Amino acid sequence: MQHYPSEYGHYDVCKSLMKSDEGIVWEYMACQPESTDMTKYLKVRLDPPDSTCGETPEKFCAMGNPYMCNNECDASTPELAHPTDLMFDFEGRNPSTFWQSITWKDYPRPLQVNITLSWNKTIELTDNIAITFESGRPEKMILEKSLNYGRTWEPYQFYAADCLDAFRMEPKSVKDLTHLTVLEIICTEEYSTGYAAHAKTLSFEIKDRFAIFAGPRLHNMASLYSQLDTTKNLRDFFTVTDLRIRLLRPATGATFVDEQNLARYFYAISDIKIHGRCKCNLHANTCVFDNNKLSCECEHNTTGPDCGRCKKNYTGRPWSPGSYLTIPKGTANICIPSISSIGTPPKFDRIRPSVSSLEVSNRKQANVCDNELQRCQNGGICHRNMRCECPAAYTGILCEKLKCEKESGGCGSRNGQGAVSHSWGLTPTVLLGAIVLARV
Ligand SMILES: [Ca+2]
């Protein structure tokens, strides 16, 4: 099992102890795992599967010198093999290690290879995707994404030496995008020039898109986070379960293909960089890689690989993701115990038998409050693990509500009931979501 704990920063803490009038209590915050190198956790698949060179040893031409064609690829000889894992090994070695495709010996049949990268987990991209080619960069390529484990795909970005010719799209740069067009899928010609020693990298620009909201040096992340919070499409744009690199035409560096010398055409990739974090719906700050699978270590009484639902017996209100707002601590929106009618004692009494029967089958989970984690707030006292006895001014299953809220006119000039406000501590609902206090 591999842990990667969060370093200090915004949203790295799910809960913390704090002092209050009632003693030491828990404060809950929105939280997320830190961004990390996601290539360690992916599975790679080629289509067609036999696209790697050297199954039968073959000759290919040197990069940049198509007339030196004595290089050999042989999958059965380690020094001459170019398997897919060489796209993700430690770089910094010279010469670099790389995956290499078969050559274009079947010309004029297109030389096309799909490289599918799967996490089997929803992740959020946090930095540019950078693909380093050892061959010339492809003249035609599509980067695609899936949000449903590869069932359906959509384009992320088109890459071509000539966008109009290849995809009937006007060439664009990410720099042309604005906050109104940030989700546009563009074709770029910036990364498709043929053999050029100094230009090997192809990028999918996450940071430039972030910068549209957060400023050129990402100094205003608060602005980005508030956009992400309020715009689901924007959040989903950076979210994937899989990526697919569709290599559609290798670099030729010319308008024609040299049919006498097809061993000069192939794809070779030395490195792929992908940074991101597990998507945990702001309910976990840790993601573990166990049994070859990533999963969030859910807090806030949530569960599931993405913390996407409430734990059993914590369905006291519908699940909702945590919120980046309010900056900088967000709102935890924790799941609360399964007592649907938070509030008046008579109602509570009516549902008490079911709590009791639950308690028989699963004593620990059915507890409303207990002596280890006394959840009664505002000075409430836990009674037989079943209910909080609240001080006169408070009510609610956890004594989290001011009684006056129930009276007409509420506790003052507040309006809006139940809606999660994005300002601190104004309504009891917010109190419950953002800073649920529980005694320790
Ligand atoms: Ca490598």
Is the four-CA dihedral 368, 370, 373, 374 of positive or negative sign?
positive
Cα 310 to ligand 1 centroid, rounded to whole Å: 42
Cα 193 to ligand 1 centroid, rounded to whole Å: 21
Cα 134 to ligand 1 centroid, rounded to whole Å: 10
Residues 6+ apart with CB under 8 A from 204: 128, 129, 143, 156, 157
Other CB atoms within 10 A of residue 381 CB: 14
Cα 98 to ligand 1 centroid, rounded to whole Å: 5
Q: Name beta bridge partners: 331.
A: 323
Cα 94 to ligand 1 centroid, rounded to whole Å: 10
What pLDDT, on a 0 to 100 scale, did the predictor assign at position 399?
73
Closest CA to 128 of 271, 274, 234: 274
- Per-residue pLDDT 10s for the chain (440 aa) are 333 333 334 799 999 998 888 888 889 999 999 999 999 999 999 999 999 999 999 999 987 787 899 999 999 999 999 999 999 998 776 788 999 999 999 999 999 999 999 999 999 999 999 999 999 999 999 999 999 999 999 999 999 999 999 999 999 999 999 999 999 999 999 998 755 556 899 999 999 999 999 999 998 988 999 999 999 999 999 999 999 999 999 998 777 899 999 999 999 999 999 999 999 999 999 999 999 999 999 999 999 999 999 999 999 999 999 999 988 889 999 999 987 544 433 333 222 323 332 222 333 334 666 544 446 677 777 776 667 778 787 777 777 777 765 444 445 433 333 332 222 222 333 333 333 333 33
If you compute the radius of gyration of the chain from its CA atoms, what whole number of angstroms results? 28
Cα 212 to ligand 1 centroid, rounded to whole Å: 32
Cα 151 to ligand 1 centroid, rounded to whole Å: 29
Q: How far is CA 212 from CA 12, 204, 385, 416, in A?
A: 24, 15, 51, 33
What pLDDT, on a 0 to 100 scale, did the predictor assign at position 434?
33
Cα 84 to ligand 1 centroid, rounded to whole Å: 9
Residues 6+ apart with CB under 8 A from 342: 316, 336, 396, 397, 398, 400, 401
Measured CA angle at 133 (ends 131, 137), to 5 deg:
100
Cα 128 to ligand 1 centroid, rounded to whole Å: 18
Cα 144 to ligand 1 centroid, rounded to whole Å: 22
What pLDDT, on a 0 to 100 scale, did the predictor assign at position 421?
28
Q: What is the pTM of this model?
A: 0.76
Q: Environment class of residue 174 by beta-carbon count within 10 Å: exposed (0-12), middle (13-18) or buried (19+)?
A: buried
| 390, two tokens | 């609240």
Residues in the chain: 440
Other CB atoms within 10 A of residue 257 CB: 17
What pLDDT, on a 0 to 100 scale, did the predictor assign at position 343?
44
Is the four-CA dihedral 72, 75, 76, 81 of positive or negative sign?
positive
Cα 400 to ligand 1 centroid, rounded to whole Å: 56
Q: Are 166 and 142 in contact (CB under 8 A)?
A: no
Return the HEC string of 358-391: HHHHCHHHHCCCCCCCCCCCCCCEEECCCEEECC
DSSP 8-state assignment for residue 138: P
Residues 6+ apart with CB under 8 A from 35: 126, 127, 275, 276, 277
CA 249 – CA 113 distance, rounded (Å):
9
Q: Name beta bridge partners: 43.
A: 118
429 φ, ψ to 5°? -60, -45
Cα 86 to ligand 1 centroid, rounded to whole Å: 4
CA 282 – CA 228 distance, rounded (Å):
12
Measured CA angle at 279 (ends 273, 281), to 5 deg:
155
CA 98 – CA 194 distance, rounded (Å):
18
Cα 434 to ligand 1 centroid, rounded to whole Å: 45
Cα 266 to ligand 1 centroid, rounded to whole Å: 17
What pLDDT, on a 0 to 100 scale, did the predictor assign at position 195?
54
Cα 57 to ligand 1 centroid, rounded to whole Å: 21
Cα 137 to ligand 1 centroid, rounded to whole Å: 16
Cα 106 to ligand 1 centroid, rounded to whole Å: 27
Return the HEC string of 217-279: CCCCHHHHHHHHHHCHHHHHHCEEEEEEEEEEECCCCCCCCCCCCHHHCCCEEEEEECEEEEC
What pLDDT, on a 0 to 100 scale, did the predictor assign at position 405?
53
Cα 192 to ligand 1 centroid, rounded to whole Å: 20
Cα 133 to ligand 1 centroid, rounded to whole Å: 10
